[in-house]
Amino acid sequence: MIKTIIITGANSGLGFAASKQILQRGNDYQIIMACRNMDKAVAARAEILQTIPAARIICLELDTSSLAKVRAFAVAFKALHLPLYGLICNAGVAGQNVTTTADGFNNIFETNYLGHFLLTQLLLPEILPGGRIITVSSDRHDLPQITWPGAQAVAHCGQDEQRDRLSYSYSKLCLDSIHVCT
């Protein structure tokens, strides 16, 4: 059976490298490139096809900084009726310029953690027995200055400059708990 794996943020960096590596294993794998920018996704798909012409790749739009778009992605994926072998929660943003998303959350928190948390919840029923869910964390989740200020405090920005600067670390700390919450 073909193993379908969703990789978020698959158009560049680690997500792109992971897509390529998995597809190099052979035609038993199919990658869903879940990307916020479809032009970049299509270009990444084309680049892989140059070296692996038989690669099975589907590009689907996903923006993890929007809960509505995460839900829309889950609907679109389910409509494909593909048994899901793996989900790699890889998409991420870092940086000091924290903003508030349309959903009202710290954009780094929502992109890196909350969107992936919702995605995981929505796709759990689709995961095959023996399937895998992988979250891409960072060793910056346990910096010495990190103390847990509470979920509300890390979910929203603009209250504490120092905490806002650590948004990436907090988002990765939250991500590490996804498996506990499921």
Ligand X SMILES: NC(=O)c1ccc[n+]([C@@H]2O[C@H](COP(=O)([O-])OP(=O)(O)OC[C@H]3O[C@@H](n4cnc5c(N)ncnc54)[C@H](OP(=O)(O)O)[C@@H]3O)[C@@H](O)[C@H]2O)c1
Active site residues: 168
Structure letter (DSSP) for residue 31? E
Contact 119, 8 (CB under 8 A): yes
- As given in the structure block, the two tokens for residue 125 are 């029923």
Nearer to ligand X, 84 or 108 (CB): 108
Phi and psi angles of residue 155, each rounded to the nearest 5 degrees, phi first: -75, -25
Nearer to ligand X, 21 or 37 (CB): 37
Nearer to ligand X, 13 or 149 (CB): 13
- List alpha helices for the chain, DSSP H: 13-23, 38-51, 67-79, 107-109, 115-123, 151-155, 161-165, 167-175, 178-181
Exposure of 76 by Cβ count < 10 A (0-12 exposed, 13-18 middle, 19+ buried)?
middle
Q: Residues in the site for ligand X, rule: CB under 6 A? A: 8-9, 11-15, 35-37, 40, 62-65, 90-93, 111, 136, 138
The alpha-carbon radius of gyration of the chain (Å, integer) is 17
